[in-house]
Amino acid sequence: MRRYWLLFAQTVTVLLAAYFVVGTLKPEWLRRPTTLTQSTGVSLIEAPQPANSPTPVGSFRQAAQRASAAVVSINTSKAAPGRPNANDPWFRFFFGEQGGQPQVGLGSGVIISPDGYILTNNHVVEGADEIEVTLNDSRTATAKVIGTDPDSDLAVLRIALERLPVITLGNSDSVQVGDQVLAIGNPFGVGQTVTSGIVSALGRNQLGINTFENFIQTDAAINPGNSGGALVDVNGQLMGINTAIYSRSGGSMGIGFAIPVSTAKQVLEGIVKEGVVRRGWIGVEPADLSPDLMETFGVKARQGVLITGVLQNGPAAQAGIRPGDVIVEVAGRQIGNVSELLTNVAALKPGTQTPFRLQRRDESVQVNVTPGLRPRPQRPQQQR
C-alpha cells in the first residue's frame, strides 16, 4: 500500500511541475480557445450594462414614451380625377384607357379618447376617399371622418379598436416662450420621429394659413408628414397639434406652428356633440389702428381694434357699440389687432353675455355683448 501511495505522490508532483513549466514558458497553450477570428488591437473599456438603465439627466425619454404611443400615422388615398371624355367610345378607340393613378397623402394624428377619437389637420384628410390609421404598435384600422373644421384646419376621426393608448391633454394657456417641447409625428413617411425644441413665440396670427389663427411657434423640427401630430411638453402632455411650417426648401427651417390644445378641444367638443363648431359673432367691421383712421374717427386710444361699421340690429349694435369705438378687451383679454379680435370673439359661446371694454374718445366704456352664432359668409372675413 505504501508503494502505491509513493507512486501517486510522484505522479502528482511531476504533473504540477510540468504545468508550472508550460505556464511559464508557453502560457498561450493553457488559454481557452476563443471564437474571435480577428483582433482590433485596441484596448477598450466598456461600461457595465445594468439591468434597469436609469434615465440620463436632461433626457426626454419618459415624455416621449408617454406621448408616442398615442401618436398615429395617417395614410389617405383619393381616386384619380376623371377625364371628361373617358366614357366616349371614340375617345377610348383613339387614345385608349386614360385612367390615372390614385392620389395618396401622408400625415399624423393624436388619439385623444379611449373611444377612438383622433385629432388631426383638415388638410391631411380633406377630399380623401379612404383613410388608414397605423398605431405605434403596428395595428392598423380604417378611420371614419366624424367632422371637419376648415376654418381652424382641424378634423376629428374615429377608429374601432380596443385598448387604445390615449394622450394626456395639457394646458396650452400656461405655455411660455422658452419652454421645452417635443414634436412627434411621421415626417416623410420614415416612421414615428421625435424632435425637440422650445416654444419660440405665442399667439402667432396674420399668417394667412387659417381663418382663425393663434399659433404656438416652435423650433422643434416639423416636416411634411408631421401635420396633425403632437406638440407635447416635457411631461408628455399635449400642448398643440402641429400644422404648418415656414420653409423655402420644403423641409424644416426651425419655424413651425401648432394649434393650441385649448382651440382643439373646442373644435372637438363642437364636432362630437353637435356635429358642427358653433362660434361667436357680433356683427362689426373692424380695422387695425392707423394714423389716418385715428384722425378720421378722432381716436385717442393707442391699442385695440377700431370699429368702422356696426351691423344694424346685430349683437354689437344692441349692446351699444358704435362706429369709432375701439375694442380694447374681450372677456378680460387684451386685443391688439383684427386677428386677435376675430379669434377671441369666435371663441365666445353664442347666447352667453360677455363683457367688452371699449375706448370711446377719452372715455373708457364697458358693455355686455351677447354674441350670436357666426354665419357662414359667402366672402370669408368680411364681417367678424
| Residues involved in catalysis | 123, 153, 227
Largest Cα separation within the chain, whole Å, is 132
Place of cell 371637419: 148
Place of cell 393663434: 214
Give the C-alpha separation, 207 to 226, whole Å: 19
Residue 217: strand pairing partners: 201, 257
Length of the chain: 384
DSSP designation for 19: H
Q: How many CB atoms lie within 10 A of CB 275?
A: 9
Of 263, 241, 270, the closest CA to residue 167 belongs to 241
DSSP three-state, residue 249 = coil
Place of cell 501517486: 8
| CA 37 to chain CA mean position, Å | 51
Buried/exposed code over 160-180 (b: 16+ C-beta within 10 A; e: otherwise): eeeebbebebbebeebeeeee
DSSP three-state, residue 280 = strand
Give the C-alpha separation, 15 to 50, whole Å: 43
Buried/exposed code over 105-124 (b: 16+ C-beta within 10 A; e: otherwise): bbbbbbbbeeebbbbbbbbb
Q: Are 302 and 337 in contact (CB under 8 A)?
A: no
Of 217, 153, 165, the closest CA to residue 192 belongs to 165
Which cell numbers in the block locate residue 351?
347666447
Of 77, 69, 354, the closest CA to residue 236 belongs to 69
Of 348, 279, 341, the closest CA to residue 306 belongs to 341
DSSP designation for 108: E
Residue 183: strand pairing partners: 195, 231
